[in-house]
Structure 1
Amino acid sequence: MAKPQPSWALGASEQDAPASPRTMRTLRKIQSHQVLSTSSALIAQTQSTRQVGSSGAGSEPAANPGATTRTRGHRRARSNSDAAAREAAATQPATQRRPARKTGSGIGVKRSLLDVLLRDGPQSANLHEGLRELKYLVLSSRVDADGDGMSPYRIYLWLILLDVPAMPTDDYLALIHRGRSPAYAKIRNDTFRTLATDPLFKRRVTEASLIRLLNAVAWKLHDSRPKPRSRPTSSRRREMELLVNTPPSIIEESTFGGELDKVNNVTTADSPMYVQGMNVLCAPFLYAARSEVEAFALFHYFVTRECPGYIRGAMDGVHKGLRLVDRCLEIVEPKLAAYLFSKGMHAELYAFPSVLTLCACTPPLPEVLHLWDFLFAYGPHLNILCIVAQLIRMRDQIFESPSPNKILRSFPPLDAKEIIALTVLLVRKIPEDLYAEMINHAK
């Protein structure tokens, strides 16, 4: 058997012959082994050089610097995306390097009192005192947020203030997987117009997420409706025939009569699954939340517990709120109210969107979020006085205009700090009976 010749001893024809796949795999394995071996040797050499350099300042350089240069050629080249930064870091003196910035709750990070209270909880075991302190901090100091109104803990503040329990994600997904609700067509007619001129909202919230959330709320409201009772069976009709000669009072106290009255009452007080304007009321929840589940839990709780009258029937709660705007304005600013009434300008003509959406229809959105911090802390009913406060801040423009309708057609941009400060002053001027109506007008 002939001894195999090395590659340099083969002829030209044999060198030009293509290598077999097995030979190529063997060559790749050998090359990979050489690269790994070279990298390991380079790492070991670098570590030994650092150790020698740290032992004394007069250490000698490596005996063969060319070997190091050759071994570096086998290393895998990195991308040039951070080449400039690495070169600058290498040339920058050690004395000018900035210390590593600490994040989270470490030393050197300034945290507000509101942030500390939310993270650590109240110092005492009294939850009522802790909640009172939390509300006071919301009033005295604004929630820390960036220029877009985003805060890392605002959504948790809302969940605490509204006392919304945690919701499993699977429950929300089950509502999504049910498909289109009976109110889907109405929802699609409104979602594309939701805060259409607000670039912050359009950049963060998609129309698809808004449709999913409103459709899930519609399914939830649909499921909460009582199912209509079936007609009495033949045996039940016979029992009713036996009661023909029975006094009416006894018939009314029967089980069937009570159930019929209950069904009739529910039918008259039944609420739709979606009304126009719910899309705008839902928008700040989606903008501030970290997930659709959080936004859904907050929004569903709000429309069913805090302001069910806003979405019931003909929006009776909204119309009550509009009448309260006129009455409160007449008490705190009688001259301004008289001027508007003389021009035929009642709140129903200009304040309907502001009452229904808790001023979310008035930009900018970051100021809306700050205003909602205050409303959720001390009650959404104070939105009535927030609208009155906006009218008072527009007082000079309204008096100078012969047609206030043009001015009130669109309110000026919100200034949450000024509106909240003025609202706190207006609360003292409202009689107790009128204030009680404000609290219950949306129920």
Structure 2
Amino acid sequence: MAHNIPSWAVDGPAEAPASPRTLRTLRKIRSHQVLTTSNALIAQTQSSQSSRPSGTHVTDKGSIGTPGTPARASTHRRARSNSDAATRAANLAAPASTQRRPARKTGSGIGVKRSQLESLLRDGPQSGKGRDGLQELKYLVLSCRVDADGDGMSPYRVYLWLVLLNLSPVPTDEYLAFIHRGRSPAYAKIRNDTFRTLATDPLFKRRVTEASLIRLLNAVAWKLHDSKTKPKSRPSSSRRRTMELLVNTPPRIAEEPEEPGSANNTTVNESATYVQGMNVLCAPFLYAARSEVEAYALFHHFITKECPGYIRGAMDGVHKGLRLVDRCLEVVEPKLAAHLFSKGMHAELYAFPSVLTFCACTPPLPEVLHLWDFLFAYGTHLNIVCIVAQLLRMRDTLLATDNPNKILRSLPPLDAEKIIALTVLLAPKIPADLYAEMVTHAK
């Protein structure tokens, strides 16, 4: 190790050592030189910073700091982690125009390829013939699924239903007029059911409110009420001639007694304007429609044209449908039918909700919508066969148990694609006379 030897100790004659005062003076001179050099370096650094662009400056360690921060203070700062440096640099370097939004899953946007089903629904048949286009539309419903997201929402499903049910648009004022009339005669019954409509389905609860259910059911109840209390239509010409012969007859003889169910009877049966289960039946319409008016039009048309027997006070159509489930099961799978009947398990004990709501009571809701696409295309009477198809998918489990009631308390979740495929295979096995009863049982 080198040592600093004073010059007086190497060359020349020996001199006396320096006094303590001389050493203190030398130390002061050296400290002054060090401080002067440091101040000069600091001034030089500050002048170079002033020539740089405002916003950042380089410290003595080469790190990036903020203006006004002392250079020496930054030397003791913890360095920034560079784990996200590449991602951060890429985000800063990429222009805003290159950041693309994710493409939509459906083909309703510009530049997105449409499915054949959506193209046919939007553009119509190429031949221009409505009947041919309708047949092609039904085939596409069967062969390819309606484009929808994970929640079952599709931008054109409601219009597909309007076309398949042959339903014209309904003026919004008609729906609003019923809303403004207030509570219908069936309002109390409606309020007793709406709060438990698909109560365990989070998709339905997130999209449809109880208030919209009440409004729609109340409006339909007013519509049915008015249809039952409207005045009798004008008599036909033959009946008019008969009445002309009785012009001079006393009124008490000419008047005919009114039948209890005649259109001229002003006594309204509340159970005919609303029956329990209509709340679940209208739920898919509200979920799939883009407005309450569309749901109102679809639901009213459906219950009055497709299944009017289901909403009568005695629900005759539903009970006919239950008997048809047993008869169809006997035809397509006699062994399973015999096993269930031997245990006292008839359709009226387990299939009542499925028949009344067209399987809307069985989750998940997106599969219900897919199944309804098929039913609206090929006939809602096929719901009977769809219920039988669900039983056949449980065949081995039901045959292996002595207590099928425990299994059939709740049907397994819907798999619309498999149920539709099995229904298409089972329908040709049903005899013509039984199939004809199935077509007309809900009327």
Q: TM-score, normalised by structure 1?
A: 0.72
Partner of 1:286: 286
- For 2:440, the equivalent position in structure 1 comes to 440
How do 1:319-398 residues align onto structure 2 when only pairs under 5 Å count?
319-398=319-398
Paired residue secondary structure (2:131): helix
The separation in 2 between residues aligned to 1:202 and 1:226, in whole angstroms, is: 35
1:119 positional shift: 1.4
Q: Secondary structure at the match of 1:272?
A: helix
Q: Give me the whole-angstrom Cα distance separating, in 2, the residues matched to 1:440 and 1:406.
A: 32
For 1:125, the equivalent position in structure 2 comes to 128
Check conservation: 1:194, 1:283, Cα contact below 8 A.
yes
State the Cα deviation string for residues 146-185 of structure 1 (Å, max 9, x = none): 1100111100000000011101111111110111111010
Q: Secondary structure at the match of 1:276?
A: coil
AA matched with 1:193: R
1:296 aligns with 2:296: yes
Q: Given the alignment, which residue of 149, 154, 159 partners 2:157?
A: 154
Native 8 Å contact 1:371 1:420 kept in 2: yes
State the alpha-carbon separation in 2 of the partners of residues 347 and 393 from structure 1: 16
> CA 1:261 to 1:136, structure 2 compared with 1: closer, same or farther past 3 Å?
same
Percentage of pairs with the same residue: 75
Residue by residue over 1:212-252, the C-alpha shift from the partner in whole angstroms, topping out at 9 and shown as x without a partner, is 000000000011113589xxxxxx998157x6xxxxxxxxx
* Residue number among 167, 170, 193 corresponding to 2:170 in the alignment: 167
3-state secondary structure, aligned to 1:210: helix
Counterpart code for 1:383: N
Secondary structure of the corresponding residue to residue 273 of structure 2: coil
Q: Aligned runs of 1:402-417 on 2, under 5 Å? A: 402-417=402-417
Q: Is the 8 A contact 2:108 2:155 kept in 1?
A: no
For the pair shown, the structure with the greater C-alpha radius of gyration is 2
Q: Deviations over 1:253-298 (max 9, x none)?
A: x5x22xx355654569976110000000010000000100000000
- Is residue 135 of structure 1 aligned with residue 113 of structure 2? no
Structure 1 CA distance for aligned equivalents of residues 102 and 275 of structure 2? 49
Give the structure 2 partner of residue 44 of structure 1.
none
Q: 2:193 aligns with which of 186, 190, 195?
A: 190
Change (3 A) 1:392 1:263: same
Aligned to 1:224: 227
Give yes or no for contact 2:186–2:221 (8 Å, CA) kept in 1: yes
1:110 Cα deviation from its structure 2 partner: 2.4
- 2:250 is matched with 239
Give the counterpart letter for 1:112 in structure 2: S
- Relative distance call for 1:239 and 1:178 in structure 2 (3 A) is same
Secondary structure of 2:145's aligned partner: coil
Confirm or deny that 1:210 pairs with 2:221.
Answer: no
The secondary structure found in structure 2 opposite 1:225 is helix
Q: How many residues are aligned here?
A: 344
- 1:204 positional shift: 0.5
Secondary structure of the residue aligned to 1:147 is coil
d(CA) in 2 for partners of 1:106 and 1:238?
Answer: 71
Contact 1:228 1:263 in 2 (8 A): no
- Greater helix fraction, Structure 1 or Structure 2: 1
Whichever residue aligns with residue 384 of structure 2, its letter is I
Q: Which residue of 2 aligns with 1:109?
A: 112
Q: Is the 8 A contact 2:229 2:268 kept in 1?
A: no
Residue 222 of structure 1 aligns with an amino acid whose one-letter code is H
Q: Which amino acid aligns with 2:280?
A: V
Partner residue, 2:423: 423
Residue 434 of structure 1: how far off its partner (Å): 0.8
SS at match of 1:188: helix
CA contact (8 A) 1:269 1:312 kept: no
Deviations 1:72-131 (A, max 9, x none): xxxxxxxxxxxxx9996552279x945687876677522211011111111111100000
C-alpha separation between the residues in 2 aligned to 1:221 and 1:363?
29
1:32 — aligned with what? none
Say whether the 8 Å CA contact 2:228–2:268 is kept in structure 1. Answer: no
Deviations 1:402-423 (A, max 9, x none): 1100111100000000000000
- The 3 A distance-change label for structure 1 pair 336 and 102 is closer
SS at match of 1:414: coil
- Counterpart residue number, 1:14: none
User: Contact between 2:275 and 2:313, CA under 8 Å: does it hold in 1?
Assistant: no
The letter of the residue matching 2:216 is L
Q: CA deviation at 1:400?
A: 1.3
Q: Residue 9 of structure 1 corresponds to which residue in structure 2?
A: none
Native 8 Å contact 2:328 2:388 kept in 1:
yes
Change (3 A) 1:119 1:345: same
1:190-212 Cα offsets, whole Å, 9 max, x none, are 00000000000000000000000
> 1:356 and 1:100 mapped to 2: Cα distance?
44
- Mapped contact 1:310–1:356 kept (Cα < 8 A): yes
C-alpha contact 1:102 1:108 (8 A) present in aligned 2: no
| Pair 1:365–1:93, CA change in 2 (3 A) | closer
